[in-house]
Amino acid sequence: MNSPMRERLLEAATELFYAHGLRAVSVDKVIDRAGTTKVTFYRHFKSKDDLVVAYLEGRAALERDGIGEAIKQGDGDVDATLRVISEAIGTIACAPGFRGCPFINAAAEYPDPDSPIRKAVDTHRRWYRTTFEQLTAPLGITNPGDVADDLMLIRDGAMVAGYLDQPATVAASFLRSSQAVIGTGTATRR
């Protein structure tokens, strides 16, 4: 169970990390924003890397909940699920204050594949790929790993397009692209 102080530190870090970047935000800034002390910080997190990993795990949980809800709303219909996902991506990626995908941002700031931050990013991206494979499994796609990779690339592109376009444009493009990848009568189907 997380203590209220740990949650306060994590909330402060989440706000600061997303707005300013992981490396730009010091532990001191998080401590100041949370209104606590270094002793208290280190009681809850062994290092800044541990805090960054906790931040990413929190963001991953939010995304997993959102995708899970889309799958539930789609009720087994892949196209319906992709429509819900596309609308959510369009809304999120074009919202005021959107600063990109926190996982893509973290990977850019921590390129070392052995860092705990990069491992947290990789874990989440593996979850996404697996989820895309499971989502499209009823379609009988012969290369589900490749299709999942393609859907991941489309999702990543939509995150970047959020800086540049309107929600409806991003959502429609994500949906069209996803449908093209899994579309009927293409080489991706039996």
Quick check: 185 pLDDT over 90? no
Which helix H or strand E contains 168, and what residues bound it? helix 167-182
- Of the ranges 27-41, 86-100, 123-137, which one carries the lowest mean pLDDT score? 86-100
DSSP 27-82: HHHHHHHHT--HHHHHHH-SSHHHHHHHHHHHHHHHHHHHHHHHHHHHTT-HHHHH
CA distance 103 to 101: 5
pTM: 0.91
CA distance 117 to 186: 38
Buried b (16+ CB within 10 A) or exposed e, 124-162: bbeebbebbbebbeebebeebeebbebbeebbbebbebb
Token pair, residue 66, equals 């959102």
CA distance 112 to 49: 13
130 CB-near residues (< 8 Å, 6+ apart): 148
Whole-number average pLDDT of the chain:
92
13 CB-near residues (< 8 Å, 6+ apart): 25, 30, 51, 52, 54, 55
Selection from 162, 93, 95, 153 nearest residue 128 by Cα: 153
pLDDT tens sequence across 28-47: 999 999 999 999 999 999 99
CA distance 126 to 135: 14
Between the alpha carbon of residue 117 and those of residues 30, 47, 59, 138, the distances in Å are: 17, 12, 13, 34
Token pair, residue 87, equals 């609308």
**pLDDT value at residue 1:** 57
pLDDT tens sequence across 48-72: 999 999 999 999 999 999 999 999 9
Quick check: 23 pLDDT over 80? yes
Selection from 55, 45, 9, 46 nearest residue 29 by Cα: 9
18 CB-near residues (< 8 Å, 6+ apart): 99, 102
